[in-house]
A and B are shown apart, each in its own frame.
Chain A
Amino acid sequence: SQQGEEDPQALSIQEGENATMNCSYKTSINNLQWYRQNSGRGLVHLILIRSNEREKHSGRLRVTLDTSKKSSSLLITASRAADTASYFCATDPKDYKLSFGAGTTVTVRA
């Protein structure tokens, strides 16, 4: 399977702390995307990192990609209550369909 798998399954942090979650996948990819989903809502695109990139930033988000280890990480710095959501990585190995993992549920406590 091409699916990304996130780790940990759940994460609870205090507001202001950083949150780090990881994604592993099984075969080579074109790019890897991170999405956020608030409970029962749609998927919000956060960031896309291409297979030839190692690190990317967007606001308080930092994504790394290690293709040799087939893994990616998402770091959210200075977390806020509004960051409470599920976070998914999605890979598209050689075609246009995205394969999603089960997600990491992040709870930011005030």
Chain B
Amino acid sequence: EPEVTQTPSHQVTQMGQEVILRCVPISNHLYFYWYRQILGQKVEFLVSFYNNEISEKSEIFDDQFSVERPDGSNFTLKIRSTKLEDSAMYFCASSEQGLETQYFGPGTRLLVL
């Protein structure tokens, strides 16, 4: 069964460093998303992406964050200058259409020191 994959599974970085989290959505899906879950807290929406542009973003998704679909298969989340509070599990998701089932990847656990 097709699934969303994410790399790396774990990333440790120093505060102020840039990180890029990578995702490969399910191949025929058109909508892509990033969510995050701070330890012990709710899953929070960050951004949705369709037709090579951001369709919606949350207040969390400030200028330090960006997303890109550099080729036909990858979808990336970049954090330009990481902060301690960016430590979280980051989930990528994709859906065939909007308002349909979103399939989540296994997540990247980011730790900012």
Residues of A within 8 A of B (CB): 3, 30-31, 33, 35, 40-45, 48, 88, 90, 92, 95-103
Taking a contact as CB atoms under 8 Å apart, the answer to whether B42 and A42 are in contact is: no
- What are the 9 closest A-B residue pairs judged by CB atoms, nearest first? A42-B106, A97-B45, A43-B104, A100-B43, A96-B98, A96-B48, A30-B99, A48-B101, A42-B107
Contacts of A103 in B (CB 8 A): 42
Contacts of B89 in A (CB 8 A): 40
The docked-state distance in angstroms from the alpha carbon of A44 to that of B106 is 9
Taking a contact as CB atoms under 8 Å apart, the answer to whether A42 and B56 are in contact is: no
Asked if B58 is an interface residue, CB under 8 A from chain A, the answer is: yes
Interface positions of B from 93 to 113, Cβ below 8 Å from A:
93, 95, 98-107, 109
The docked-state distance in angstroms from the alpha carbon of A30 to that of B103 is 17
Within the complex, which residue of A30, A31, A45, A96 is in contact with B56, where a contact is CB–CB below 8 Å? A96
Decide: A88 near B43, CB < 8 A? Known: A42-B91, A45-B104: yes
Chain B interface, number of residues (Cβ within 8 angstroms): 28
> Min CB distance, A9 to chain B, in Å?
12
Show 21 residue pairs from A and B whose CB-CB distance is below 8 angstroms, ordered by the A residue: A3-B42, A33-B101, A33-B102, A40-B89, A40-B109, A41-B106, A43-B91, A43-B93, A44-B104, A48-B100, A48-B101, A95-B56, A96-B56, A96-B95, A97-B56, A98-B33, A98-B102, A99-B45, A100-B42, A100-B43, A103-B42
Contacts of A44 in B (CB 8 A): 104
For A3, the closest partner residue in chain B by CB is: B42
The docked-state distance in angstroms from the alpha carbon of A95 to that of B55 is 9
